[in-house]
Chains A and B, each alone.
Chain A
Amino acid sequence: MLKDITLGQYFPDDTVVHRLDPRTKLVLTLVFIAALFVARGIVSYALMLAALVCCIAASRVGARALLKSIRPIIAVIAVTAALNVFFTRGTPIVRLWAITITREGLIGAAYMVTRLVMLISGTFLLTYTTSPISLTDGIESLLAPLKRIKLPVHEFAMMMSIALRFIPTLIEETDKIMSAQKARGADFETGSLIRRARALLPILIPLFISAFRRADELATAMESRCYHGGEGRTRMKKLAMSPGDYISLVCGAALALAVVLTNMAAP
């Protein structure tokens, strides 16, 4: 059950999208998100959607996996849509007691839902096609200029990759502890909210204890191998930009430009 959580999960494969440099993918994702927020009007949205669909198709991740990633936030999307539908002023279409649904509300909700779904799919596409290690390498490399102002960029990147690395381990651990407590008759599914929250204690306490134990062991292991942070470290895998990376960046810039232009053309 918990194993089905796909948060930040990487689907190993060897496609054009997988092979791109992580820095390219990070920059493109940021451009995509920015473009998504400035996009107005149906033409911009269509352009963005077309670009996203092309990327998804090229990555072979599959629509099913992406839809699954949207599932946990369906409630958020639904609430946002409802707020838009019920609380936007404009030309009323339906009127029931105190509730008025306006044309503008419906259109606004449609845009909002499309934007959210595209936002989630786009960012998940990044984590689905980039291994956590190369993702943090990319972040570290992009943030490298900040080292000049004495920000511990390498340490941040290290902390992030450790955190990402341990998400599956912790999920597995949670699963195991849950099973063990269920085997002693623990019940997480019935009872009042307070009861259910209390039922989580037998899971959370062992989980915290083991997380601290793991952190301690990892620190010892790193220290015994003389780990000493960023200065003077060499890498096993050097990041290198390929022609494909530059082409993708140009395409990304073109998309952003196109969105801005259609925005200006739109009323």
Chain B
Amino acid sequence: MAPVIKTEKITHIYSAGTVFEHTALSDVSFEALRGEYIGIIGHTGSGKSTFIQTLNGLIRPTSGTVFFDGTDIRQSKERTRDIRFKVGLVFQYPEYQLFEETVFNDIAFGPKNMGLNAHEVAERVREAAGFVGLREDDLEKSPFELSGGLRRRAAIAGVIAMRPEVLIADEPTAGLDPAGSSEIIANIGAYRRSTGATIIIVTHSMEEIAQNADRVTVFDGGRIVMDAPPAAAFSRSDELSAMGLGVPAATAIANRLRARGLPIAGGIITADGLRAALRELRRGAGSA
């Protein structure tokens, strides 16, 4: 299957030629398939935020090319703008970007910019609100009357309303309580299931990746240093911790148990997986 998004050796240097020169990305080649769920992890300053902004053309890499559906997103001005609607990008703390008088109008900002008519815009807004679990009466409120978690969901709905084929989110659960976090992850999952969109999530939560992602891409020093299914990536916990990254709690527990001599299987990344492995172990011990 052809990748929906592909980058070819992109390098990005900030403030080139000054004392503040800083290479954020070097030679990053990456592919995402249609419908794939990709988790991006990396230490602060590893280039992941810069990277996702190159995917919808907000940042033009110093060198290298970004392809959407096989063609360069920089082919023409119209195409670059069009890509913004196809590759939806949710920034960190998106609730601080709300500006309209009502939640409805704010979610409608993207669809309106797409040039849709009032009827279509309303339909998109209702649909997006449904995905993030906003009630009908929330739509007529001011964004500032909503709670923090709901405000975040309204902001995410503002991107979903463009029906992007690729939905990218930069730490969508940062600063939320566990209930709020899992709701947002569920909202994004619902959007993916009903539209078949590709999801790319930057996160610090290894649990989130273990539970949802098909693949995890690890950034370090502006490069992709690991790109593998979560079970395979988290089995390299030493390398990850050398980069200042962790593994899911279940993997850490399994590792410690194994270190103590318990014959526990590898590739455990979720609590359910750990529970199953421990049951297995007890059954084995019982029959022996």
Q: Spell out A's residues near B (CB within 8 Å).
A: 3-4, 11, 65, 176-177, 179-187, 201-202, 205-206, 209-210
> Quick one: which of B238-288 are within 8 Å of A by CB?
none
**CA of A179 to CA of B57, assembled, Å:** 10
| B154 beta carbon closer than 8 Å to chain A | no
Which of A4, A65, A201, A206 has the most chain B CB within a 10 Å cutoff?
A: A206
Q: Say whether A183 contacts B56, CB under 8 Å.
A: yes
**Number of contacts between A and B (CB, 8 Å)?**
56
- CB contacts (< 8 Å) of A187 on chain B: these are 81, 113
Given the complex, which residues of A lie within 8 Å of B158, measured CB to CB?
Answer: 184
**Any chain A CB within 8 A of the CB of B37?**
no
Interface string of B85-111 (1 = CB under 8 A from A): 100110100101111000000000110
A4, A65, A181, A185: the one contacting B97 at CB < 8 Å is A181
Interface of A is mostly: helix
Nearest CB on A from B219, distance (A): 19
Q: In the complex, which residue of chain A has the Cβ closest to the Cβ of B81?
A: A185
B99 neighbours in A (Cβ, 8 Å): 201-202, 205-206
Q: List 8 A-B contacts (CB under 8 A).
A: A3-B14, A65-B18, A180-B91, A180-B94, A184-B110, A185-B84, A185-B113, A205-B99
Report chain B residues within 8 Å CB of A202: 97, 99, 109
B237 at the interface (CB under 8 A from A): no
Residue from A3, A11, A181, A201 within 8 A of B19 (CB atoms):
A11
In this complex, what residue of A is CB-closest to B87? Answer: A183
- B96→A210 contact, CB < 8 A: yes
A255 and B98 alpha carbons, distance in the complex (Å): 55
B101–chain A nearest beta-carbon distance, Å: 10
Query: Do the beta carbons of A183 and B96 come within 8 Å of each other?
Result: no
In the complex, how many angstroms separate the beta carbon of B21 from the nearest chain A beta carbon?
Answer: 12
B7-25 Cβ-contact flags toward A at 8 Å (1 or 0): 0000000110011000000
Is the CB of B162 closer than 8 A to any CB of chain A? yes
User: Can you name the residue of chain A whose Cβ is closest to the Cβ of B84?
Assistant: A185
Q: Are A179 and B109 in contact (CB under 8 A)?
A: no
**Residue from the list B19, B58, B98 in contact with A179, Cβ < 8 A:** B58
A201 to chain B, nearest CB (A): 7
Name 13 extra pairs, CB < 8 A, besides A3-B15, A184-B162, A202-B99. A176-B91, A177-B96, A177-B97, A179-B91, A180-B97, A182-B84, A183-B56, A184-B84, A185-B114, A185-B162, A186-B109, A206-B99, A210-B96
B53 at the interface (CB under 8 A from A): yes
**Nearest-Cβ distance from residue B231 to partner chain A, whole angstroms:** 32
List residues of chain B with CB within 8 A of the CB of A184. 84, 109-110, 113, 158-159, 162
Q: How far is the CA of A186 from the CA of B94 in the complex (A)?
A: 15
Find the B residue at minimum CB distance from A11: B19
